[in-house]
């Protein structure tokens, strides 16, 4: 895969705009208390949250914020990362807004679902059901990456989060 770099660390993530996927694993059902939405139950499984980083500091700043334990709980994903660690991050640099396209590609995987409608997609203009996807059981990282970059060239990078 062109431009693929395994094992990047957070400081190596570029301070450039881009799109990212946070991969998280829930070993049991997770109950989230979402402001204005009430309780949301996420069944055990592997999840992908798709986001974009087009503000100051780009991917490094946005992904870094998601990985910090101490932070105000502002976005839906903050509620989830407060109880589940991020296991892996996949990023691509560039000004193109790939968030909705990536979400649709992940949802198209056989067995994928959006168990929390509206999660992470409050400002979505493309009618995405959510930007949090429960991935099919048994899907591996290479298959996630393949789904994201199929038919598209770009600099795809991954970062394993610190333990």
* pLDDT mean across residues, the chain: 83
Low-confidence ranges of the chain (pLDDT < 70): 1-11, 150-163
Burial classification of residue 112, based on how many CB atoms lie within 10 Å of its CB (0-12 exposed, 13-18 middle, 19 or more buried): middle
CA distance 14 to 118: 29
pTM of the entire predicted model: 0.87
Tens of pLDDT, residues 107-136: 999 999 999 988 888 777 888 899 999 999
Residue 101 contacts residue 92 (beta carbons within 8 Å): no
Closest CA to 80 of 128, 126, 130: 130
Residue 1 contacts residue 29 (beta carbons within 8 Å): no
Residue 143 contacts residue 106 (beta carbons within 8 Å): no
CA distance 19 to 102: 9
Closest CA to 21 of 161, 137, 162, 116: 161
């Amino acid at each position: 895969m062109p431009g693929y770099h395994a094992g990047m660390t957070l400081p190596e993530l570029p301070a450039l705009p881009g799109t990212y996927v946070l991969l998280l694993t829930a070993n049991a059902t997770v109950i989230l208390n979402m402001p204005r939405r009430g309780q949301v139950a996420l069944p055990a499984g592997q999840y992908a949250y798709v986001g974009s980083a087009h503000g100051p500091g780009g991917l490094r700043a946005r992904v870094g914020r998601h990985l910090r334990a101490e932070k105000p709980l502002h976005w839906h994903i903050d509620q989830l990362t407060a109880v589940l660690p991020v296991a892996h991050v996949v990023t691509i640099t560039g000004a193109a807004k790939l968030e909705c396209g990536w979400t649709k590609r992940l949802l198209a995987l056989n067995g994928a679902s959006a168990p929390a409608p509206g999660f992470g997609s409050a400002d979505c203009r493309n009618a995405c059901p959510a930007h949090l996807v429960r991935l099919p059981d048994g899907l591996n990282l290479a298959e996630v990456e393949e789904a994201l970059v199929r038919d598209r060239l770009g600099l795809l990078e991954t970062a394993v989060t610190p333990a």
